[in-house]
């Protein structure tokens, strides 16, 4: 009787999980790729969905289409709820609520990360983050709805509140997003409105550290701050958000406490590993850091379980940042290691990360980049950023579509082609009880229906399941 093929279960269809799956193409294995969404999200360009530049489909191709030519791989849309490391089984919940067990010989967990509010999870209701396609669409609808409200109100104070936008966190995500809000308000929208001058918008960027873009060199930090200020952004350094509600935000800076009336607050200040990392740590006695990432061995395996790998944002290895490149390289490394073991070569060199550099865009024709010891700013950095990001998109159709959409939005029409909202969307976005009225909480993915039902208030509407956290991005990096 023929021997059964080696079973590999990959949890998470982000950069780490997808690259591990691709690396196993043609190998004598059966791969099951499990994810809570049906798409692979290119998270570094997510902010452009929030800004109305790109449609979601260009940066989030369906996982089934991505692996359709890989005959030894299948995709399962389900939520992983538990790991039985003794029986080598992954437990998951399917869309209809039924449980399913997925046996494995090798397990690769690349579940990514989600928002972190540094212990103040109540801020999630007032300052949504941007880690999923749903988050980006929610922010886009909310930003555009605020301009619509400013157009209709006749009270100057109320109009000022609708036109005040606060982004918390000046890492690459915060800088890129606040730059797009500034371009919308000051360059794109002024000619579209009659009763309000959108150039009156007040846009603030808060950062607890002493400089924007903390991972970058001082030269690039200074360039980014100068550029943002020229774009009309108020940069507040050494400033923390200490309280907020649906109408205002209170910050603590060098001059003490200050409260600003603002209808829009966006969180871009931190990430936290998927709860699956802590679940694995409890089962293997592995350590976790403050962000919830699980410590792995030099070959990305878990202590005492050489058949279980953890990669990407949820893994703690050599203090690597939670960005795309470590996840991509770890995924490829793990795929090669699995093939090596099947070929009778169990010993492998430890994972070694090759840092190709980092980059962030600030606005149209403005970006910063550093690679191999060299630093770039302005147009050349902007072109480098565009080339690398297009290169890492999945599929030539998405690459060409992105280049065409950029050309139309940024050069020819100087507009944003994906600004569609409806009355229902706009009225929903400006309602106060957003999380309680159905928007999935951005804090953590739910782990079971029982938990959801037991914690819901009696009069709350049933909340849909949130999308899976993204795999990788706190800064964008070179390819």
Active site residues: 176
Residues 114/271, Cβ–Cβ less than 8 Å: yes
Beta-strand relationship, 248-253 and 256-261: antiparallel
Distance CA 458, CA 89 (A): 35
- Which DSSP string corresponds to 190-224? GGG-SS--GGG-EEEEE-SSSSSSTTS-HHHHHHH
Residue 398 tokens read as: 């998405």
Angle at which helices 15-23 and 324-342 cross, to 10°: 30
Token pair belonging to 2: 């023929």
Q: Are 177 and 219 in contact (CB under 8 A)?
A: no
Say if residues 138 and 145 touch (Cβ distance below 8 Å).
Answer: no
- Name which of 120, 112, 36, 33 is nearest 274 in CA terms: 112
Measured CA to CA, the distance from residue 10 to residue 67 in angstroms comes to 13
Two tokens, residue 118: 């540094």
Q: Which residues pair with 295 in a beta bridge?
A: 316
Please give the Cα distance from 249 to 258 (Å, whole number).
8
Burial of 343 (0-12, 13-18, 19+ CB in 10 A): exposed
Question: Is 473:324 a contact under the CB 8 Å cutoff?
Answer: yes
Would you state the structure tokens that stand for residue 191, as one six-digit string?
Answer: 């000619």
Q: How many CB atoms lie within 10 A of CB 260?
A: 18
Task: Check residue 303 and give left, alpha or beta (phi > 0: left; psi -120 to 50: alpha).
Answer: beta
CB neighbour burial string for 159-197, b if at least 16 within 10 angstroms, e if fewer: bbbbbbbbbbbbbbbbbbbbbbbbbbbbbbbeeeeeebe
CB atoms within 10 A of CB 410: 16
Beta strands per DSSP E along 269-397: 271-273, 294-295, 301-302, 305-310, 315-316, 358-363, 366-371, 374-377
DSSP symbol at 441:
P
> Could you give the 3-state DSSP secondary structure of residue 48?
helix
């Amino acid at each position: 009787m023929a021997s059964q093929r080696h079973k590999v279960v990959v949890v998470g269809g982000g950069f780490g999980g997808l690259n591990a799956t691709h690396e196993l193409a043609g190998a004598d294995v059966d791969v099951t790729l499990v994810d809570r969404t049906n798409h692979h999200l290119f998270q570094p360009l997510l902010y452009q969905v929030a800004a109305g530049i790109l449609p979601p489909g260009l940066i989030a191709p369906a996982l089934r289409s991505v692996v359709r030519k890989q005959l030894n791989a299948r995709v399962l849309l389900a939520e992983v709820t538990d790991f039985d490391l003794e029986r080598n089984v992954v437990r998951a919940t399917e869309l209809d609520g039924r449980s399913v067990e997925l046996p494995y010989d090798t397990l690769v967990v690349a579940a990514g990360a989600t928002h972190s509010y540094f212990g103040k999870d109540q801020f999630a209701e007032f300052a949504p983050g941007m880690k999923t396609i749903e988050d980006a669409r929610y922010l886009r609808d909310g930003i555009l709805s605020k301009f619509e409200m400013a157009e209709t109100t006749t009270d100057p104070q109320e109009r000022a509140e609708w036109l005040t936008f606060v982004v918390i966190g000046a890492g690459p995500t915060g800088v890129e997003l606040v730059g797009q809000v500034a371009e919308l308000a000051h360059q794109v929208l002024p000619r579209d409105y009659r009763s309000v001058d959108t150039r009156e918008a007040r846009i603030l960027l808060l950062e607890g550290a002493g400089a924007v873009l903390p991972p970058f060199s001082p030269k690039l930090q200074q360039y980014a701050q100068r550029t943002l200020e020229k774009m009309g952004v108020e940069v507040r350094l050494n400033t923390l958000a200490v309280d907020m509600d649906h109408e205002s935000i209170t910050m603590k800076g060098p001059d003490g406490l200050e409260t600003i009336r603002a209808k829009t607050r966006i969180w871009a200040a931190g990430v936290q590993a998927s709860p699956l990392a802590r679940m694995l740590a409890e089962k293997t006695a592995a350590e976790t850091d403050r962000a919830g990432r699980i410590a792995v061995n030099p070959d990305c395996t878990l202590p005492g379980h050489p058949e279980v790998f953890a990669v990407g944002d949820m893994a703690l290895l050599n203090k690597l940042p939670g960005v795309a490149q470590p996840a991509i390289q770890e995924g490829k490394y793990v795929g090669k290691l699995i093939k090596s073991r099947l070929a009778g070569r169990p010993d492998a060199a430890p994972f070694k990360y090759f840092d190709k550099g980092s980059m962030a865009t600030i606005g149209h024709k403005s970006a910063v980049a550093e690679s191999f010891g060299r630093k770039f700013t302005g147009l050349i950095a902007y072109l480098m950023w565009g080339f690398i990001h297009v290169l890492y998109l999945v599929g030539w159709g998405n690459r060409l579509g992105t280049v065409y959409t950029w050309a139309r939005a940024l050069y020819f029409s100087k507009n944003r082609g994906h600004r569609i909202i409806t009355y229902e969307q706009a009225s929903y976005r400006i309602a106060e009880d957003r999380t309680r009225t159905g928007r999935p909480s951005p804090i953590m993915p739910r782990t079971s229906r029982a938990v959801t039902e037991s914690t819901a208030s009696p009069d709350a509407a049933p909340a849909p399941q949130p999308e899976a956290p993204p795999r990788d991005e706190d800064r964008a990096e070179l390819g």
